[in-house]
Structure 1
Amino acid sequence: MKKTVFKELCFASILILLLTGCTKKFDEINQDPNNPKTTDPGYLLVSAEKKAIDNIWNEWNNGRTGMHYAQYWSATTYSNESRYQIRENRNTEFWNIMYAGSIKDLNEIIKINTEKPFDYSPNQIAIAEIMKAWTYHMLVDVYEDIPYKFSQGGLDQPNSPYDRAITIYTDLLKVLGEQVAKLDPSKGSFPTQTDIIYKGDVNKWKRFANSLRLRIAIRVSDVPSMQTLVNQAINDAVNSGVFTSNADNAIFRYVEAPPNNNTLNESYKSRIDFCMCKTIVDYMLDINDPRLPIYAAPAKDNGRYIGKPYGLNQQNGEMIPNSAISLPGSAVLDAKAPGVYMDYAEVEFILAEAIERNIISGSAEEHYKKGIRASMEDRGVPNAGIDPYIAGVPYNGGQWKNVIGTQKWLAMYMQGLEGWFERLRLDIKKPNGQDLFVAPVDGSLDRDVTVVPTRMTYPVDEQQLNKSNYEKAVQAIGGKDSKAAKHFWDLY
């Protein structure tokens, strides 16, 4: 693990040069004149940002997990992942990169700024804490209970106990609120060259933190014991300022050349493992969605948009040639297609839901329409095609979970893990009440799961190296480390 972290830290330094070129200002940032070899927190930030987004955007955790479980993509070959047989080494890698990679880098930023503070140290610390909150939030939603309080060193210390997911969520909302209050736009933060997400813009980091509070709060909005906290967090976030346009999107801007191009773009250079899923293609055809030519490419054989049935076994799946089905569109696989931490469209759909839940006031229909428009504009749909589409998918408050849920699911295309989480939370159906998702056509390969996993099992390394705490965590989630164990927020 230490070798991996060292290699990735060295890689982060190379990344700076590739993304932005050299700058003489680096040696002016956060350097002790008596100790010039101190690591620059800016290098650590870009390292943490890239490790995290690559980890949730790559072919393994996005392509073979999230994009399958949300039924955005089907498999062209090696279909076992779409039937819920995971690769344990990749599961362990996801866990390690988040803890021993991103979280450790962010903790080091906090340590450096705490030990030798500068005028901009409070902002650097707050930004690191916001990124940590996003990272822990992703870990909780993948696994449920995880090490939290004692993982501040990036899990370098052995035998880290697990914290309950509901306790972590409660603390994340508290931490994000505190960091919003600490951010000071009148002072600097990170150099533009070392903050790929917001180029050091403190106001945008504040809007991201508030928007993340919305996501975390709405995800636990069905939990009775959290109602007061949910209402307070959402109202505070809205009053403090959330995303108001696509210019606020929290994204990682990939570049043309490897190793800093979009990770899925690099994967597709050597092999084609994914195609469009019949679930999303058929639904987009039914509602004449103008994003379909952006999301997908027409089948080469006949120029039509055709998705492959989800969860075919390898023999049946490989009988369908790639030329007879739609592959992902060139725009979403472009080398510079950004990785998304969170976007404006999601915020508008959350606001629509918050109104339906009587958490805030306003027009749910208005925010629903804004969410659709934000997604369309972000994907490059011409204005002439947006209004007719919105008119064709009218708002219905009586079916708000399905109406908001289906459009949110479509807008989240390429955010596979988030699409999966929202599928679980809202149990999305078509607005007319018909089923949207299907069970794997040729059956699940997981004995506990029939339709879709509700979480990921803990890495094998935890079972072996952190056995006592692992076993306590398994008992806390029901007594079995199963992909069918439900999240505390998944009540319906």
Structure 2
Amino acid sequence: NDHYALYRDWYNAPFNDAYTNVMQPWKSIVDNTDETSPARAMATIVKVLGMSRITDMYGPIPYTRFGSAIQVPYDSQKDVYYRFFEELDDAIDVLTDYNSSNSAKYMEQYDYIYNGNVAKWIKFANTLRLRLAMRISFVDQPKAETEAAAAINHSNGLITTIDDSAILHQMTSFSFTNPLWEVSESFQDMRMGATMDCYLNGYNDPRLSRYFRPAANDGNYHGVRNGLTNISKDTYKGAASGLNFNENDDMQWMDVAEAYFLLAEAKLRLNLGTETVQSYYEQGVRASFSSKGASGVDAYIANQESLPLTTYTDPVTNRGTNVNSFISQLPVAWDEGATLEKKLERIMIQKWIALYPDGQEAWSDMRRTGYPGFVRISSYSYTTEVASNEMISRLKFPTTEYSDNSENTQAAVSLLGGNGDTAGTRLWWDVRR
């Protein structure tokens, strides 16, 4: 998959796991609660979070009629998103009503995100609503404006502090192995990418040491280009930087920095929010530094000189590749005199950096806006589905759907449009690149 070869067995899992581990538990909760239950509202927020990731991988998915039959029809991505907004609106109303008349925490011992703090659940739901609104803002701006305004103007507000961030916490009664530690350190299957190398090293970004470990070979920070052929992972194990995770680290669902960058874009493009674009942008950078434990944010925000690297150097071959035509070349410091497009690009560069380690959300933003620029994979020889110099647009529908839900899956291919069920077909909201 690093080469866009797209082995179907590898992309069956996200789809199938979502229905087993998200949709089925949610339905069980719905079947055993009433519409005013905070438990149902919280479960719905988690469901929307999880399934938004699935539709943003595949496009059309079985959603609104889940549980109605063994073979479930697919919904268009537009219909799925519209249902997300309805569900979030209802869930927010339920939790707001509960919070206005109850001071006690709700199901504190079972809540590994907010420890029963309903007000924080509302902030999380509002911020998720804003995320999804901005996702569709280039394809359906009127709906995006309506939903973004509802999120921003809600009385409980958005995630604005580190304590508001949605984090799955390790608990005495609930523990797990951090999956990013597992693939990076246990499996030795993951290293810093070349694109991250160019941005973080070019900006002299203090978050670099918070995100990654120094390469064992020389103690510096190096990334690996995607799409290398005929190599063993051992070749780059000591030459490139591993992820800076521990086995029992918590898992980030939504970080406070993302909320501020969403606000910056909403102010820039939709004129929503009460502060300036620059204020939201700089608060996003500051929030990212704080949540990641990095220092030096004042100098970083003021830096008008440092730019991302224009040459990527392979840490094994020491061969340099000119990436100037790919990598965005903007300094960190805000420029009020820049064009709207350059302002958007600057926001998205810093948002992309701050989203780490949420790679899927970063991928969605790159597809949606075209920013930031990225180092192309080294070889497109493994696929004819993704145009040269472009990134993968989606995952194909699982083979299990073609065998177990064939008629509905074929109908879903028609809903996709484009070139059908290929990795190069763009999703409904991906209209800008």
TM-score normalised over the length of structure 2: 0.85
Instruction: State the SS of the aligned residue for 2:167.
Output: strand
**Distance verdict in 2 for CA 1:464–1:238, change over 3 Å:** same
User: What is residue 255 of structure 2 aligned with on the other side?
Assistant: 343
Q: 2:230 aligns with which of 314, 324, 331?
A: 314
Instruction: State the SS of the aligned residue for 2:228.
Output: coil
User: What is residue 199 of structure 2 aligned with on the other side?
Assistant: 283
User: What is residue 34 of structure 1 aligned with on the other side?
Assistant: none
Q: Is the Cα contact below 8 Å between 2:178 and 2:247 reproduced in 1?
A: yes
Q: Does 1:483 align with 2:423?
A: yes
User: What is residue 147 of structure 1 aligned with on the other side?
Assistant: 62
Cα deviation digits, residues 48-79 of structure 1 (max 9, x gap) = xxxxxxxxxxxxxxxxxxxxxxxxxxxxxxxx
Q: 1:127 aligns with which of 27, 42, 52?
A: 42
**Distance verdict in 2 for CA 1:271–1:131, change over 3 Å:** closer
How much has 1:461 moved relative to structure 2? 0.5
| Unaligned ranges ≥5, structure 1 | 1-80, 430-435
User: What is residue 73 of structure 2 aligned with on the other side?
Assistant: 161
Q: 1:422 aligns with which of 332, 340, 365?
A: 365
State percent identity of aligned pairs: 30
Cα deviation digits, residues 136-158 of structure 1 (max 9, x gap) = 2111101111111111x3x8x32
How much has 1:253 moved relative to structure 2? 1.3
CA distance in 1, matches of 2:109, 2:73: 37
How much has 1:180 moved relative to structure 2? 1.1
Q: Is the Cα contact below 8 Å between 2:5 and 2:382 reproduced in 1?
A: yes
User: What is residue 374 of structure 1 aligned with on the other side?
Assistant: 287
Q: Does 1:212 align with 2:124?
A: no
Of the structure 1 ranges 464-473 and 267-276, higher mean CA displacement relative to structure 2 is found in: 267-276
CA distance in 2, matches of 1:319, 1:137: 35
Instruction: State the SS of the aligned residue for 1:314.
Output: coil
CA distance in 2, matches of 1:442, 1:209: 40
Q: 2:149 aligns with which of 203, 228, 235?
A: 235
User: What is residue 388 of structure 1 aligned with on the other side?
Assistant: 299
Cα deviation digits, residues 356-407 of structure 1 (max 9, x gap) = 113314300000001111111001013xx11001111112352122100110
Q: Does 1:273 align with 2:189?
A: yes
CA distance in 2, matches of 1:209, 1:215: 10
How much has 1:318 moved relative to structure 2? 5.2
How much has 1:325 moved relative to structure 2? 2.1
Q: Is the Cα contact below 8 Å between 2:126 and 2:151 reproduced in 1?
A: yes
Q: Does 1:304 align with 2:220?
A: yes
Cα deviation digits, residues 202-228 of structure 1 (max 9, x gap) = 1111111100110000010011xx322
CA distance in 2, matches of 1:303, 1:131: 40
Q: Is the Cα contact below 8 Å between 1:412 and 1:419 reproduced in 2?
A: yes
**Distance verdict in 2 for CA 1:259–1:354, change over 3 Å:** closer
**Distance verdict in 2 for CA 1:176–1:380, change over 3 Å:** same
Q: Is the Cα contact below 8 Å between 1:254 and 1:335 reproduced in 2?
A: no
Q: 1:104 aligns with which of 24, 27, 31?
A: 24
- Which of the pair is proportionally richer in helix? 1
CA distance in 1, matches of 2:416, 2:289: 39
| Unaligned ranges ≥5, structure 2 | 304-331
Letter of the structure 2 residue corresponding to residue 109 of structure 1:
I
CA distance in 2, matches of 1:257, 1:328: 27
**Distance verdict in 2 for CA 1:207–1:257, change over 3 Å:** closer
TM-score normalised over the length of structure 1: 0.75
Q: Is the Cα contact below 8 Å between 2:257 and 2:283 reproduced in 1?
A: yes
How much has 1:300 moved relative to structure 2? 2.1
RMSD, aligned CA:
2.1
Instruction: State the SS of the aligned residue for 1:421.
Output: helix
Letter of the structure 1 residue corresponding to residue 423 of structure 2:
K
How much has 1:261 moved relative to structure 2? 2.3
CA distance in 2, matches of 1:428, 1:254: 34
How much has 1:266 moved relative to structure 2? 3.4
Q: Is the Cα contact below 8 Å between 1:254 and 1:261 reproduced in 2?
A: no
User: What is residue 329 of structure 2 aligned with on the other side?
Assistant: none
Instruction: State the SS of the aligned residue for 1:101.
Output: helix
Q: Is the Cα contact below 8 Å between 1:124 and 1:189 reproduced in 2?
A: no
CA distance in 2, matches of 1:159, 1:209: 31
User: What is residue 319 of structure 2 aligned with on the other side?
Assistant: none
Q: Does 1:404 align with 2:347?
A: yes
User: What is residue 443 of structure 1 aligned with on the other side?
Assistant: 380
Of the structure 1 ranges 286-295 and 258-267, higher mean CA displacement relative to structure 2 is found in: 258-267
